[in-house]
Structure 1
Amino acid sequence: MYFILIASLLTIDLLAQSNLRPAQKKFESETIEETINRISAKMKDNKLKYTFINSFPNTLDTTVTNYDPNIPDSFVITGDITAMWLRDSTNQLWTYMEFINKDSKLQNLVKGAISRQVNQVLIDPYANAFNYQKKQSEWSNDNTTRCFLGVNVHAMSQNLHERKFEIDSLVAVLRLSIGYYRETNDTSIINFKYLKAVQRILRTFRDSQADQQEQFKSFRFPYTFQRNGRSTDTVINGIGEPVRRTGLLRTFFRASDDSTIYQFNIPENAMASSILKQTAEMLSEAQLSWSLRTAAQPLIGEALALSQEIKDAIYKYGIKDGAFVYEVDGMGKQVFMDDSNQPSLLSLPIYGFIDIEDPLYQATRKKALSSSNPYYYEGTAAKGIGGPHIGANYIWPMAIVTQGLTTYDKQELRECLRMLVTTTGNKWFMHESFFKDNPDSFTRSWFAWANGLFGELVLKIDKQYPELLEENYI
Structure 2
Amino acid sequence: MTTKNVPKSFQKMIDTVAKTFPEYPKLQEMFQKCFLNTYATTLTETKEGLPFVITGDIPAMWLRDSTSQIRPYLMVAESDPEMAEVIAGLVKQQMRFIQLDPYANAFNQEANGKGFQEDKTEMSPHVWERKYEIDSLCYPIQLGYLLWQSTGSTAHFDADFRRATATILDVWETEQRHETDSPYSFERVDVRQSDTLNRDGRGTEVAYTGMTWSGFRPSDDACLYGYLVPSNMFAVVALGYLEEINAACWKGQELATRIIKLKNEIELGIQEFAIQEHPYYGDIYAYEVDGTGRKNFMDDANVPSLLAAPYLGYGAFNDPEYIATRRFILSRENPFYVEGTQLTGIGSPHTPDHYVWPIALSVQGMTATSISEKLAILEMLIETDGDTGFMHEGVNASNHHEYTREWFAWSNAMFSEFVLSLCGIYVKGSPLAKNNK
Task: Give, as a single letter, the amino acid of the residue that structure 1 aligns with 2:237.
Answer: S
User: CA 1:61/1:24 → structure 2, altered by over 3 Å: closer, same or farther?
Assistant: farther
d(CA) in 2 for partners of 1:298 and 1:192?
Answer: 17
Q: Which residue of 2 aligns with 1:314?
A: 270
Within the alignment, does 1:370 sit opposite 2:331 as a pair? yes
Quote how far apart the aligned CAs of 1:50 are.
Answer: 1.5
Residues 71-470 of structure 1 mapped to structure 2, 5 A cutoff: 73-144=50-121, 155-212=122-179, 214-215=180-181, 221-228=182-189, 229-236=191-198, 237-286=200-249, 292-293=250-251, 296-321=252-277, 322-463=283-424
d(CA) in 2 for partners of 1:116 and 1:372?
Answer: 41
Q: Which residue of 1 aligns with 2:30?
A: 51
Quote how far apart the aligned CAs of 1:192 are.
Answer: 2.2
Report if aligned partners of 1:72, 1:108 keep a CA contact under 8 Å in 2.
no
d(CA) in 2 for partners of 1:256 and 1:346?
Answer: 15
Task: Give, as a single letter, the amino acid of the residue that structure 1 aligns with 2:420.
Answer: L
SS class of match (1:371):
coil
Quote how far apart the aligned CAs of 1:304 are.
Answer: 1.5
Task: Give, as a single letter, the amino acid of the residue that structure 2 aligns with 1:311.
Answer: E
d(CA) in 2 for partners of 1:208 and 1:381?
Answer: 42
d(CA) in 2 for partners of 1:359 and 1:23?
Answer: 45
SS class of match (1:276):
helix
SS class of match (2:146):
helix
d(CA) in 2 for partners of 1:299 and 1:389?
Answer: 38
SS class of match (1:161):
strand
Task: Give a deviation string over 1:120-159, Cα, whole Å, max 9, x none.
Answer: 0010000000011111223110111xxxxxxxxxx21110
Report if aligned partners of 1:29, 1:103 keep a CA contact under 8 Å in 2.
no
The higher radius of gyration belongs to: 1
- Equivalent residue pairs, number: 417
Task: Give a deviation string over 1:45-98, Cα, whole Å, max 9, x none.
Answer: 232222111111211111102279xx7621111111111100011111111112
Q: Which residue of 2 aligns with 1:40?
A: 18
Query: Between the two proteins, what is the percent identity of the paired residues?
Result: 36
d(CA) in 1 for partners of 2:61 and 2:291?
Answer: 33
User: CA 1:85/1:91 → structure 2, altered by over 3 Å: closer, same or farther?
Assistant: same
User: CA 1:67/1:60 → structure 2, altered by over 3 Å: closer, same or farther?
Assistant: farther
User: CA 1:190/1:387 → structure 2, altered by over 3 Å: closer, same or farther?
Assistant: same
SS class of match (2:240):
helix
d(CA) in 2 for partners of 1:57 and 1:235?
Answer: 37
Task: Give, as a single letter, the amino acid of the residue that structure 2 aligns with 1:304.
Answer: I
SS class of match (1:138):
coil
SS class of match (1:458):
helix
User: CA 1:30/1:197 → structure 2, altered by over 3 Å: closer, same or farther?
Assistant: same
d(CA) in 2 for partners of 1:107 and 1:463?
Answer: 21
Task: Give, as a single letter, the amino acid of the residue that structure 1 aligns with 2:81.
Answer: S
d(CA) in 2 for partners of 1:308 and 1:138?
Answer: 37
**Structure 2 runs not aligned, ≥5 long:** 278-282, 426-437
d(CA) in 2 for partners of 1:117 and 1:298?
Answer: 24
Quote how far apart the aligned CAs of 1:395 are.
Answer: 0.4
Task: Give a deviation string over 1:351-381, Cα, whole Å, max 9, x none.
Answer: 2111001111100001000011000000001
Report if aligned partners of 2:393, 2:404 keep a CA contact under 8 Å in 1.
yes
TM-score normalised according to structure 2 size: 0.92
Q: Structure 1 residue runs of 4+, over 3 Å off? A: 21-25
Task: Give, as a single letter, the amino acid of the residue that structure 1 aligns with 2:195.
Answer: D
Q: Which residue of 2 aligns with 1:152?
A: none
Report if aligned partners of 2:14, 2:28 keep a CA contact under 8 Å in 1.
no
Task: Give a deviation string over 1:295-322, Cα, whole Å, max 9, x none.
Answer: x332222112111111111010001121
Report if aligned partners of 1:263, 1:327 keep a CA contact under 8 Å in 2.
yes
d(CA) in 2 for partners of 1:143 and 1:431?
Answer: 31
RMSD: 1.7
d(CA) in 1 for partners of 2:16 and 2:27?
Answer: 14
Report if aligned partners of 1:198, 1:299 keep a CA contact under 8 Å in 2.
no
Quote how far apart the aligned CAs of 1:339 are.
Answer: 0.3
d(CA) in 1 for partners of 2:159 and 2:293?
Answer: 42
Quote how far apart the aligned CAs of 1:172 are.
Answer: 0.7
SS class of match (1:158):
coil
**Structure 1 runs not aligned, ≥5 long:** 1-20, 145-154, 216-220, 287-291, 465-474
TM-score normalised according to structure 1 size: 0.85
